[in-house]
Structure 1
Amino acid sequence: MEIGKVPTEVLKEVIFSNLKNRRPEVLVRPNIGEDCAVVDFGDYVCVMSTDPITGAAKDIGSLAVHISCNDIASSGVEPLGIMLTIMAPPHTTKEDLSLVMSEANKAAASVNVEIIGGHTEITDAVNRMIISATAIGRQLKEKLVLSEGAKIDDAVFMTKYTGLEGTAIIARDLEEKLKEKISDATIQTAQEFLKDISVVKEGITAGEVGVHSMHDVTEGGIFGALWELGEASGIGIEIYEDQIPMRPETLEICHYLSIDPMRLISSGVMVMTIAQDKKEALMEAFKRENLILTEIGRMVEKDRIIISAAKGIRALDPPDVDELYKAFEN
């Protein structure tokens, strides 16, 4: 199989089909486009999400914390705890572990989440350090937001700029290669995108306004996440490609590496949908918090399409291998 997230059809056929035991306390189970599991705790629900860091070699402590906390925020929930499992190869030093945990602690403090446990192991089963993070949050049941909640005619919004995380990883891990054609100033700016990959504040703000659905943009990029949003909700979506914001550094780096920024891993971006009569309130709330928000589409009855001036109308396809892995193959 190809490197990256397992394809949607394989998930359905091999993974989901084998999950047959059910507990009545479980309110949200694994599904395409759904970021979190949800367990009923009476008036409250426990919201959980888990993710590994496999596509980056640097800053993995910070990435592990932010990416899992972003998933929790996609339910409109403030994350409160995170557990980290570290699998490190035999050549790992105490200094390597200390650096990763220092990064993780700094990231945790920035979003006010506590690292509450985990596991650390040296093993020859991996050839570089891998971190898997599980984040936990609590929310009143009636305030929970799910990816499957989008409704026909909802406005579709995204936060920040597409390709943020992927651009930062490439700029940090492939710095020497980029220097062949990309200026030092562009590379340095792109490396700093990593500081913008948290969407916890955005998720909480959107949840308070009353969005119908949210989905964190990770592997598969903005187009993959938008397809998953439609799949989770069982309806269509039309996306206005020309309105999707992108940093010039992302465009330049992706052009040089011949990769598609619209399908590049994009933590730091949250997509969300909201009723047309509430979208002004959402934009005002984001403006008050100095958060970036852009309207990029609309939920429709069935078709999933991308509209652009240059390319016309084309199908919005399911996510494939993330462009990040292609960048490292070039």
Structure 2
Amino acid sequence: MIGKLDPDDLALVVSRTGAQDDDVQVGPGYGEDAAAIEIGDETLVVSSDPLSLARERLGTLAVNVACNDVACSGADPRWLTNVVFLPDDDRETLDIVTEQIDEAAKNLDVAIVGGHSEYAPDLSRPTVTMTAMGLADEYVPTGGVEPGDRLVLTKGAGIEGTAILATDFRDEVGTDTTVDGESAAVDGESAVEAGESFFEEISVAEDARVLREYAHAMHDPTEGGVITGLLEMAEASEIRLEVERDDVPVRDVTRTLCDTMSVDPLRIFGSGALLAAIPEEGVEDALDALRDVGISAAVVGRAVEGDGDGELVLDDEIIADPPRDDLYQLWE
């Protein structure tokens, strides 16, 4: 079975934290994608992420997904280590993946400072694991949501998933499928070509740089999409989040590809968007600041007092367990 561990199995893993270290401000925890380590007057933020799917842009996604976690925690991504496993002696794939990694890191002004590479014949596909690091003046957690906060989502649901649908599933979508929507800019355009361009929007470093000045909490929705990202924020914060599906922005390209492949745009890989919990009085200033740098965003819900366990209410449905990403059924 592909995908993340369920919450019970994950709890077992994150309970085993090795030696005690008083400089660790934030360690392993459900929903918290990055560690915070006190280094003098600053905080070192560290996050690791593996990637083995999305073959066409594996290196691009691996860099951005790892750096997004650091950015969402209040730091500017600065360093990366890079571990690459290849299933066979395939120099062409090695060249393509490492070139993508190099280009993506340069675009983010991040240095690759080490790692490991080897051939692993038992693997069925290339696998890349990145560890990203950066320094923050103040760590921003996933679990910092407070009652009354408004929930802001940048860009839209399913950005990463849209790009994957347009590339890994190009043949299934069909190159003659066109975008059907309200936006005149894309209406009638090839859905595959439009969706592939979403790879250029996977980074949320700029989104986070703006919103960290306003947010109590930030999180990037990855596997399981916006729904899982919201649930992780709710559980990490032990609070109730109320969201209306119709308030969540979904681009025409995303909706077209998702309808074609029968998947839910709120339940597919969501890198490229950022979720932020912002005090009500700061929401308009935050939205204005995003607009000033050309980033779209919308208020999608609010936080209210819960029973202390954390829960997500989507429309009238209470979601207690993270959904399996809809794209996994397409790979199996």
State how far apart, in whole Å, the 2-side matches of 1:33 and 1:245 are: 23
Deviations 1:139-187 (A, max 9, x none): 12xx221111110010100111101111111210111111187247111
**After TM superposition, where is structure 1 displaced by more than 6 Å over at least 4 residues in a row?**
none
Partner of 2:128: 131
Listed as ranges, the matches of 1:36-75 within 5 Å are 36-75=34-73
In 2, Cα distance between the equivalents of 1:253 and 1:167? 7
User: Higher helix share goes to which structure?
Assistant: 1
* Matching residue within 120, 123, 147 for 1:152: 147
CA shift at 1:98, angstroms? 1.7
Of residues 240, 243, 257 in structure 2, which corresponds to 1:236?
Answer: 240
1:325 alignment counterpart? 328
In the TM superposition, residue 233 of structure 1 has moved relative to its aligned partner by 0.7
How far is the alpha carbon of 1:127 from its aligned partner?
2.1
TM-score relative to the length of structure 2: 0.92
Contact 2:240-2:304 within 8 A present in 1 as well = yes
Amino acid at match of 2:87: P
Pair 1:10 & 2:13 matched: no
Percentage of pairs with the same residue: 32
Judge conservation of contact 1:55–1:324 (CA < 8 Å) in 2: no
1:306 aligns with 2:303: no
CA deviations on 1:222-267 (whole Å, 9 max, x unpaired) are 0100010011111111002101111122212222222221110110
Partners of 2:130 and 2:223 lie apart in 1 by 16
Kindly tell me: are residues 47 and 180 of structure 1, through their superposed partners in 2, closer, same or farther at Cα, counting changes over 3 Å? closer
TM-score (ref. length: structure 1): 0.93
**Secondary structure of the corresponding residue to residue 101 of structure 2:** helix
Q: Which amino acid aligns with 2:73?
A: S
Q: Which residue of 2 aligns with 1:200?
A: 205
* CA displacement 1:277-304 (0-9 Å, x = unmatched): 1111111111111111110000111153
- Give the match's secondary structure for 2:15: helix
Instruction: In structure 2, give the amino acid aligned to 1:77.
Output: A
In structure 2, stretches of 5+ residues that fail to align are 179-188
- The Cα of 1:134 is off from its aligned counterpart by 0.4
Task: Report the equivalent of 1:296.
Answer: 300
Q: Work out the CA distance in 1 between the residues paired with 2:259 and 2:191.
A: 13
> Contact 1:259/1:327 (CA < 8 Å) preserved in 2?
no
- Residue 166 (structure 1) aligned with residue 161 (structure 2): yes
Residues paired across the two proteins, number: 318
Alpha-carbon displacement from aligned partner over 1:50-106 (angstroms, at most 9, x marks no partner): 00112211111111110000000101211001111000112412x321221111111
Change over 3 Å in CA distance of 1:60–1:180 after alignment to 2 = closer
Q: Which amino acid aligns with 2:116?
A: H
2:331 and 2:162 map into 1 onto residues whose CA distance is: 12
Q: Say if 2:175 and 2:191, in contact at 8 Å, map to a contact too.
A: no
Aligned equivalents of 1:292 and 1:316: distance in 2? 27
Structure 1, gaps ≥5 residues long: 308-312
Q: Is contact 1:218–1:265 with CA below 8 Å preserved after alignment?
A: yes
SS of aligned partner of 1:33: coil
Name the aligned partner's letter for residue 198 of structure 1. S
SS of match in other structure, 2:2: coil
Q: Distance in 2 between matches of 1:138 and 1:300?
A: 32
Single out whichever of 251-260 and 223-232 deviates more from structure 2: 251-260
Work out whether residues 55 and 325 of structure 1, in 8 Å CA contact, stay in contact via their aligned partners in 2.
Answer: no
Q: Which residue number in structure 1 is paired with residue 214 of structure 2?
A: 210
Cα distance in 1, alignment partners of residues 17 and 42 from structure 2: 25
CA contact (8 A) 2:70 2:77 kept: yes
**Aligned position for 2:279:** 275
The corresponding residue for 2:269 is 265
Residue 97 (structure 1) aligned with residue 94 (structure 2): yes
1:185 to 178, 186, 190: 190
Alpha-carbon distance in 2 for matches of 1:296, 1:237? 10
Residue 32 of structure 1 and its aligned partner are, at CA, apart by 1.1
For 1:6 and 1:23, the matched residues in 2 are separated by: 26
SS state of the match for residue 131, structure 1?
A: strand
The 3-state SS of whatever aligns with 1:267 is coil
User: 2:298 matched to 1:284?
Assistant: no
Distance, in Å, in 1 between the alignment partners of 2:175 and 2:55 is 21
On the 8 A contact 1:228/1:318 being kept in 2, the answer is: no
CA contact (8 A) 2:156 2:297 kept: no
CA RMSD of aligned residues (A): 1.5
Asked if 1 retains the 8 angstrom alpha-carbon contact of 2:158 and 2:270, the reply is yes
